[in-house]
Structure 1
């Protein structure tokens, strides 16, 4: 049986790189468009018949559509789309520049939306497929100083939650991957807004001091093993029906469970108030 063909964004580093390496080693064809194709030169040399790549900035919607079309045309079929490209922008909402806000939403939310929309006609035509979106445990909780990052992750999950019901009858499965902290060098992809003195002694200031702490990569001591995370993502594509969400990492499980439990407690505390706004019986 032929190994499924994958399309991976953000394949040059981190989880995307780990997934791409494991797929190629397992005999899968992989379409891996990146901003700098030269970053995948070593994989191209090692797997010349399996790796397909192109130059792409996922924020360029027109180019994204063209690259998706080319990948399906050149490869004949793509079974799994792994939407992984992303970055983190941090700072108080007031501290963020207009440009930083637009970029954060464009990379983490708008690009995955357009990627799925570009792939759906092809997936329908071939009778189905799988779309896997890498989000974060931060799609369930939030941290002061991470408002735009969390907005982009909550937003893309809200979009996909709705689309699952639209495309499931068409044979297209959607899975949201929610990792905790993983040793990927994510700090290199972070952008930190210029600080305002007003926030120095607030929780935002605490977050800033944590992010600016000396010592380099903040993920260096993370619990998550990128190789094991990648293996779990690849395995999820063969699970039927498609799991709606998978939490990866014991920290992710604990944080997500805590956030959901707190939300249920808050909802239950307002039960009488909710009922009080109904028309009288």
Structure 2
């Protein structure tokens, strides 16, 4: 297979790191963004020019545009852009600070929007490419105690689903990846928790307070990374890529419930139509 070039945000850990390691080992090139360049010093030492590391916080919007432009300028064609940078924020909505709310949306949703927007002119000019958005089953299903995390993922899924329809004419395809729990550092190190309010003690929203001590997740991050990489070679691109039996179960239950609620309102919905309709 011809070597490809990838742009991946957040390659210091988790799925971004696993994907980068595999791609480099397979001979592909990776432009990888990190907040701390030392986090990928070992990969740079091992793979040299195959890895183009760039320091970036995706909440820095001018920085996003600069890094994406530089990556395309220096590497030429970039075949796949992967929006991976993000984190989980947990706690009841009332427990979250204004700064936590802003930073979660800025990172998980706005950052991904701006990376895609920065890449689009280049993808159009080169005649196509693939955008892969790392989301979660939490972009379709919800749990108490994760309001802002869900908001960020539902928001970016809506953006990417609409974007796919906008850019298909240019040969640009979009895939939304919806993993279940994976054995990365997402829970132990990546999760951020709100300051608890006593009013929520013993309520469903309080369950997330123990997320860092929860049993290991079922998902194998190496297998998930391999599945995401494999999906980039499919034509047409899968609109959604569900990874993990827990992801399938949560999404199936949520979508089944939503469809049942919709079907139950088929007749009543029509009562608000204009007679001319």
- TM-score, with length taken from structure 2: 0.96
- The CA deviation string for residues 243-277 of structure 1, in whole angstroms up to 9 with x for no partner, is 11010001111111111111111111222221222
Aligned mates of 2:159, 2:23 — CA distance in 1: 27
Partner of 2:195 in structure 1? 194
Aligned mates of 2:66, 2:190 — CA distance in 1: 26
User: Is the partner of 2:261 in helix, strand or coil?
Assistant: helix
CA RMSD of aligned residues (A): 1.3
Pair 1:39 & 2:34 matched:
no
Pair 1:152 & 2:149 matched:
no
CA apart distance, 1:280: 4.8
- The CA deviation string for residues 18-44 of structure 1, in whole angstroms up to 9 with x for no partner, is 000000000001000210111001111
- TM-score, with length taken from structure 1: 0.95
- The CA deviation string for residues 171-210 of structure 1, in whole angstroms up to 9 with x for no partner, is 10000000000000102111111111111132112332x3
Pair 1:229 & 2:230 matched:
no
- The CA deviation string for residues 57-76 of structure 1, in whole angstroms up to 9 with x for no partner, is 11101011100111111111
Moved more, 147-156 or 253-262: 253-262
Aligned mates of 2:30, 2:274 — CA distance in 1: 57
User: Is the partner of 2:4 in helix, strand or coil?
Assistant: coil
Structure 1 regions of 5+ residues with no counterpart? Answer: none
Partner of 1:96 in structure 2? 96
- The CA deviation string for residues 101-139 of structure 1, in whole angstroms up to 9 with x for no partner, is 000001100000000000001001111100000000000
Partner of 2:208 in structure 1? 207
Runs of 4 or more, structure 1, over 6 Å off, are none
User: Is the partner of 2:176 in helix, strand or coil?
Assistant: strand
CA apart distance, 1:97: 0.4
Aligned length: 275
Partner of 2:115 in structure 1? 115
**Equivalent residues in 2 for 1:265-276, closer than 5 Å:** 265-276=260-271
- The CA deviation string for residues 131-155 of structure 1, in whole angstroms up to 9 with x for no partner, is 0000000001111110000000000
